[in-house]
């Protein structure tokens, strides 16, 4: 349902309902059938020109306080507040009231000051002049090339080119401004008005004399206002006729070079009256919504012809602006402009972003595409370079096709769309497309566009989640259901120019494609009148049901949605009056110009737009065909948020699991530690057991040694036994027997458990030893042998201890578990006290062994020293004695010891021992033997202690 805005509402408020046409006089219904412009006739016929605004189309001046005024309330010109003065006698009210009947808008100094005079904008046009000129619009053929038009009779219907753009009295004042800059000015003006009706009327600038091009919604209030002067049928027919949504403008390019005075005389361009008239052959007057003369810049063109359309697009309507005209007449100049004089496209971009800034309650998403139709092929200008192939064919891009569906209408696919977030970004994208567009020099234009270029800006918008609801309530026109996404499209099209045959083949090929597509466009537009009448009146039987060849060219196919009424349309036709500077002859140039003007007239008369604001889709965004990126993004954002939450939860869970794992790990480590300690204990026990075994074995060994030394006063060892055998064989039996018995005694020790072979024999010293023994014959030789035997014995024991230690280590490494088992059993079997006692006992044994070892070492040292002294004595006592024949080996061995041995409190001198009488010597020998025994005992003890200390680190582990 259409919501009617209050007239004094700010212009930026979007309408809420479909956009109907401005209620204008439906000229066709009032004109005779003969007055229709035939598609085949290029020039407007007099009949067409004679189309007049019917009285029914003219709104009556409403009462400021009441909408129920009757025709009697229609003011005369005299009643109207216009400097045009009273209506001349004889003029019918119908013809003269159209403009002057309405009160003038309040004059604000700011309006004229801030805006250049415009025939299109109430806020910017000096009203008096404007009104004067409009009152004069009509039959006069006299053309004044100046902007200051003279009063003329009303223009024929054909010239009713929608001159009243933005000035309809039926439109809310806030929507009547044509430029962004004027918004605030106009608003201010309207807000100062005492009442809505007044404000509505005050903005009227006599627009009912024309086909009223305005992009306004028909509001309730508008309808009420019109009810004063219109029947319901008239109103309905006006609503059906969507002319208000189509603007046709003509722009005249300045001549280049010398002006042709003849042509100057023939042509009249009256910007204020929006009139172009030609007095030459096939001439006529052509009225449009806007006529821009050579003085007008691009800003003015944009403000009047495109600005409001652009804002409507931002509100949800589809909009199409295209430039049409002969080559070189300024289409590209108008659409793109220059750095100092920006054209429609850059100005529209600026406005789009201004609108976004002004509309904080909504959020927008913009995407842009840019294509060209070159030689009936569509190229994507944003998809990288387009390569030229053979015969002018293009390559390097996937072929782009036109498709159609009920939602999107006709669209090109696949086409690159870029999402843009700033004016600069959007301009840059378009500049990139411009660079890729086909341009070539022709004899008509040094930089002629060889293709139709289409910029499409898709605008998606949605109410902001936490938007200012209050402000929306205040403004019904912008009130929308929250959540829905509105998608609208602004198409900005720079057509290639129609042209005569060109020089080169390539240009001719291009030209033929361009001309063909433009011809198709003309045909479609011409035939639209039949379509319109089919929907509206039954009068035009001739044109009824005419074929609309949209599919005959890609251009018309692409423009189909706009031409068939789904879009607001603004057509800018460019012409050049003089042919100077053009390669075309004056005649053909004029013909082309007239063709352009006729095209514009047909477009104005035939294109009917019933553009409606795009629905707000509440799509879930999952649908792949959904066009609304905002929807898709919203769904994607929701999905990502959900994933984020899941990840957070998962993270929490992971942390919990991790903590749990850490606890378990700690428990495991603790358990391992306990187990390790147990194992260490087991190992310690195993070591203790092995030590016991070693010590036991040592004890056994030392016991046998002790037995040999202490009990029999003899050096008992296997080596000595062997030695004794040797000596026995040599014939000296006395000491041998004693030793022999000792040896036997040793062998007879029960439970020794050690084989005889495990003790290495003492190395023999050969014949020299025998000689020495034989020479002295007093046991000195046997002492030497004893020393050797003791040394050997000591070495044996050390080796044995080493072996046992090795075994202990091996046992610890390789079979600790087995040992642990057995030990644990053993441990279980014994109590702690028993183990400690055993350890203490073993320690005591080790101490005694150590002491024995030390004794042995001392004894060895003493014997060695004694032997050396004896040698010295022999050397001194008798020259040439056997001592002089001692080997160097013996000498060096004797030199090792320097031990003073004390026996019974007095030092025993080995020299004395060797030189004393025999009895003494025996006594001394016994003492020495005893002493050696003690020393041996100490020596063994020391050695064992050393071994034990080597094991200490292990035992410390316990
Ligand atoms: N209103 C104008 N004021 C000044 N110069 C203009 C105007 N219109 C066009 N021109 C100049 O005329 C030349 C041709 O203009 P433009 O290229 O825009 O023509 P066109 O209609 O796009 O031609 P084509 O169809 O061959 O591409 C350019 O040099 C341009 O600067």
Q: What is the pLDDT of residues 861-879, one digit of tens each?
A: 887 887 787 777 666 554 4
Q: ∠170-174-180 over CA atoms, to 5°?
A: 130
CB 447 within 8 A of CB 441: yes
> Is pLDDT above 60 for 939?
no
> Is pLDDT above 50 for 114?
no
Residue 257 is predicted with a pLDDT of 65
Task: Compute the distance between CA of residue 289 and CA of residue 273 in angstroms, rounded to an integer.
Answer: 9
User: How many angstroms does the Cα of residue 350 sit away from the middle of ligand 1?
Assistant: 22
Could you give the percent of the chain with pLDDT greater than 70? 46
Q: What is the pLDDT of residues 816-851, one digit of tens each?
A: 555 455 555 555 555 556 777 878 888 888 888 888
Nearest to 149 by CA among 161, 132, 163, 165: 132
Higher-scoring residue by pLDDT: 781, 355: 355
Residue 619 is predicted with a pLDDT of 53
CB 329 within 8 A of CB 574: yes
**Strand, helix or coil for residue 690:** helix
Mean pLDDT for 466-494 is 63
Task: Compute the distance between CA of residue 948 and CA of residue 954 in angstroms, rounded to an integer.
Answer: 10
**Range from 110-119, 251-260, 401-410, 848-857 carrying the lowest mean pLDDT:** 110-119
What are the structural domain ranges in the chain?
27-606, 621-660, 671-957
Residue 217 tokens read as: 């919604």
Residue 342 is predicted with a pLDDT of 94
CB 270 within 8 A of CB 149: yes
Q: Is residue 329 a known part of a binding site?
A: yes
Most confident of the following: 53-67, 164-178, 619-633: 619-633
Q: Give me the CATH topology for the region 27-606.
A: Kinesin (3.40.850)
User: How many angstroms does the Cα of residue 202 sit away from the middle of ligand 1?
Assistant: 39
Residue 545 is predicted with a pLDDT of 61
Higher-scoring residue by pLDDT: 618, 764: 618
Q: What is the pLDDT of residues 293-330, one digit of tens each?
A: 888 999 999 999 999 999 999 999 999 999 999 888 89
User: How many angstroms does the Cα of residue 575 sit away from the middle of ligand 1?
Assistant: 10
Please indicate whether residue 325, judged by its CB atom, sits closer than 6 Å to ligand 1: yes
Please indicate whether residue 576, judged by its CB atom, sits closer than 6 Å to ligand 1: no
Residue 948 is predicted with a pLDDT of 52
Residue 496 alpha carbon, nearest atom of ligand 1: 25
Task: Compute the distance between CA of residue 618 and CA of residue 728 in angstroms, rounded to an integer.
Answer: 127
**Range from 359-373, 634-648, 687-701, 710-724 carrying the lowest mean pLDDT:** 710-724
> Is pLDDT above 90 for 383?
no
List CB contacts of 76: < 8 A, sequence separation 6 or more: 86, 87, 93, 97, 101
Q: What is the pLDDT of residues 483-533, one digit of tens each?
A: 678 889 999 999 988 766 666 777 788 888 888 888 899 888 888 875 544
Instruction: For tokens 């054209």, name the residue.
Output: 343
Task: Compute the distance between CA of residue 299 and CA of residue 310 in angstroms, rounded to an integer.
Answer: 14
Mean pLDDT for 575-586 is 70
Mean pLDDT of the chain: 62
> Is pLDDT above 70 for 10?
no
Closest Cα to atom 1 of ligand 1: 253
Residue 442 alpha carbon, nearest atom of ligand 1: 26
User: How many angstroms does the Cα of residue 607 sit away from the middle of ligand 1?
Assistant: 26
Residue 290 is predicted with a pLDDT of 92
Nearest to 333 by CA among 253, 276, 256: 253
Task: Give the neighbor-by-neighbor strand order of the sheet with 275-278.
Answer: 267-270, 275-278, 284-287
**Range from 387-401, 417-431, 456-470, 586-600 carrying the lowest mean pLDDT:** 387-401
482: confidence class by pLDDT, cuts 50, 70, 90 = low
Residue 571 is predicted with a pLDDT of 93
Residue 337 is predicted with a pLDDT of 93
Task: Compute the distance between CA of residue 167 and CA of residue 210 in angstroms, rounded to an integer.
Answer: 11
Residue 367 is predicted with a pLDDT of 92
CB 681 within 8 A of CB 958: yes
List CB contacts of 480: < 8 A, sequence separation 6 or more: 16, 463, 472, 486, 616
pTM greater than the 0.80 cutoff: no
Q: Is residue 654 a known part of a binding site?
A: no
CB 267 within 8 A of CB 577: yes
| Helices and strands: H and E segment counts in the chain | 29, 21
Residue 492 is predicted with a pLDDT of 95
Residue 504 is predicted with a pLDDT of 73
Residue 370 is predicted with a pLDDT of 93
User: How many angstroms does the Cα of residue 437 sit away from the middle of ligand 1?
Assistant: 16
Q: What is the pLDDT of residues 118-175, one digit of tens each?
A: 322 333 333 333 333 332 333 333 333 333 333 333 333 333 333 333 333 333 222 2
Q: Is residue 284 a known part of a binding site?
A: no
Q: Is residue 95 a known part of a binding site?
A: no
Residue 171 is predicted with a pLDDT of 33
Please indicate whether residue 333, judged by its CB atom, sits closer than 6 Å to ligand 1: yes
Could you give the percent of the chain with pLDDT greater than 90? 14
> Is pLDDT above 80 for 91?
no
> Is pLDDT above 80 for 573?
yes
* Residue to mutate (ligand 1; options 253, 339, 437, 440; most atoms within 8 A of CB): 253
Phi then psi dihedrals of residue 269, to 5 deg: -115, 115
**Range from 117-126, 419-428, 803-812 carrying the lowest mean pLDDT:** 117-126
Nearest to 575 by CA among 833, 369, 267: 267
Q: Is residue 189 a known part of a binding site?
A: no
């Amino acid at each position: 349902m259409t919501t009617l805005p209050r007239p004094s509402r700010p212009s930026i408020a979007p309408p809420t309902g479909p956009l109907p046409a401005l209620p204008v006089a439906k000229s066709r219904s009032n004109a005779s059938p003969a007055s229709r412009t035939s598609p085949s006739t290029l020039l407007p016929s007099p009949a067409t020109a004679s189309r007049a605004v019917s009285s029914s189309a003219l709104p009556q001046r409403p009462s400021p306080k009441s909408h129920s005024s009757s025709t009697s309330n229609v003011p005369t010109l005299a009643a109207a507040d216009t400097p045009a003065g009273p209506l001349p006698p004889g003029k019918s009210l119908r013809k003269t009231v159209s403009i002057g009947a309405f009160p003038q808008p309040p004059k604000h100094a700011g309006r004229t000051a801030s805006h250049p005079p415009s025939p299109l904008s109430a806020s910017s046009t000096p009203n008096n002049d404007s009104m004067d000129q409009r009152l004069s619009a009509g039959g006069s053929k006299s053309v004044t090339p100046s902007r200051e038009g003279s009063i003329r009779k009303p223009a024929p219907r054909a010239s009713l080119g929608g001159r009243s753009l933005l000035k309809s009295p039926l439109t809310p004042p806030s929507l009547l401004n044509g430029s962004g800059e004027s918004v605030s000015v106009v608003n201010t003006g309207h807000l100062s008005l005492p009442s809505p009706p007044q404000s509505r009327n005050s903005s009227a600038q006599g627009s009912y004399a024309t086909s009223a091009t305005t992009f306004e919604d028909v509001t309730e209030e508008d309808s009420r206002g019109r009810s004063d002067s219109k029947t319901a049928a008239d109103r309905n027919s006006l609503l059906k006729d969507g002319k208000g949504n189509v603007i046709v403008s003509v722009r005249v390019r300045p001549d280049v070079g010398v002006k042709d005075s003849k042509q100057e005389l023939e042509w009249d361009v009256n910007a204020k009256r929006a009139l172009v008239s030609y007095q030459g052959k096939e001439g006529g007057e052509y009225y449009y919504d806007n006529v821009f003369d050579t003085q007008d810049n691009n800003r003015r063109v944009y403000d009047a012809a495109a600005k409001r359309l652009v804002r409507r697009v931002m509100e949800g309507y589809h909009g199409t602006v295209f430039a049409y005209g002969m080559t070189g007449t300024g289409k590209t100049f108008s659409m793109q402009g220059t750095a100092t004089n920006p054209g429609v496209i850059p100005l529209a971009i600026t406005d789009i972003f201004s609108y976004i800034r002004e509309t904080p309650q909504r959020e927008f998403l913009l995407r842009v595409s840019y294509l060209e139709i070159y030689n009936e092929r569509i190229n994507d200008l944003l998809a990288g370079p387009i390569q030229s192939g053979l015969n002018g064919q293009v390559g390097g891009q996937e072929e782009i096709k036109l498709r159609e569906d009920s939602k999107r209408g006709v669209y090109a696919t696949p086409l690159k769309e870029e999402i843009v977030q700033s004016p600069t970004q959007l301009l840059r994208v378009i500049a990139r497309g411009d660079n890729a567009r086909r341009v070539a020099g022709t004899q008509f234009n040094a930089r002629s566009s060889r293709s139709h270029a289409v910029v499409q800006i898709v605008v998606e918008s949605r109410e902001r989640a936490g938007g200012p609801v209050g402000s929306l309530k205040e403004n019904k026109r912008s009130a929308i259901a929250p959540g829905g996404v509105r998608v609208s499209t602004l198409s900005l099209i720079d057509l290639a120019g129609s042209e005569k045959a060109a020089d080169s083949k390539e240009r001719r090929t291009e030209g033929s494609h361009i001309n063909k597509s433009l011809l198709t466009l003309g045909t479609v537009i011409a035939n639209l009148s039949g379509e319109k009448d089919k929907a509206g009146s039954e009068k035009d039987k001739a044109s009824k049901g005419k074929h609309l060849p949209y599919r005959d060219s890609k251009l018309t196919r692409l423009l189909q949605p706009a031409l068939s009424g789904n879009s607001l349309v603004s057509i800018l036709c460019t012409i050049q009056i003089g042919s100077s500077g053009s390669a075309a002859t004056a005649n053909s140039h004029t013909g082309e110009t007239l063709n352009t003007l006729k095209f514009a007239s047909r477009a104005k008369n035939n294109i009917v737009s019933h553009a409606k604001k795009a629905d707000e889709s509440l799509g879930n965004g999952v649908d792949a065909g959904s066009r609304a990126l905002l929807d898709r993004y919203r769904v994607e954002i929701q999905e990502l948020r959900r994933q984020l939450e899941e990840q957070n939860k998962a993270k929490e869970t992971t942390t919990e699991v991790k903590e749990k794992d850490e606890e378990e790990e700690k428990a495991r480590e603790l358990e391992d530690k306990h187990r390790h300690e147990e194992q260490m204990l087991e190992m310690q026990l195993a070591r203790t057991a092995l030590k016991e075994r070693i010590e036991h074995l040592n004890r056994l060994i030392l016991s046998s040694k002790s037995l040999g030394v202490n009990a029999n006063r003899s050096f008992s060892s296997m080596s000595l036994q062997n030695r004794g055998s040797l000596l026995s064989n040599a014939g000296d039996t006395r000491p041998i027997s004693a030793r022999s018995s000792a040896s036997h005694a040793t062998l007879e020790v029960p439970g020794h458990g050690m084989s005889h072979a495990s003790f290495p024999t003492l190395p023999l010293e050969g014949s020299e030893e025998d000689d020495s023994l034989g020479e002295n014959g007093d046991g000195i030789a046997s002492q030497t042998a004893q020393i050797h035997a003791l040394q050997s014995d000591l070495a044996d024991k050390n080796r044995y201890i080493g072996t046992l230690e090795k075994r202990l280590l091996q046992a610890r490494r390789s079979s600790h578990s087995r040992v642990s088992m057995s030990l644990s059993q053993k441990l279980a079997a014994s109590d702690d006290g028993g183990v400690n006692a055993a350890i203490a006992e073993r320690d005591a044994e080790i101490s005694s062994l150590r002491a024995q070892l030390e004794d042995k070492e001392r004894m060895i040292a003493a014997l060695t020293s004694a032997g050396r002294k004896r040698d010295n004595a022999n050397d001194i006592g008798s020259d040439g004695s056997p001592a002089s024949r001692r080997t160097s080996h013996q000498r060096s061995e004797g030199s090792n010891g320097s031990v003073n041995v004390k026996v019974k409190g007095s030092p025993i001198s080995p020299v004395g021992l060797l030189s004393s009488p025999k009895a003494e010597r025996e006594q001394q020998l016994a003492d020495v033997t005893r002493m050696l025994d003690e020393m041996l005992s100490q020596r063994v003890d020391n050695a064992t202690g050393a071994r034990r200390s080597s094991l200490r680190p292990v035992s410390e582990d316990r």
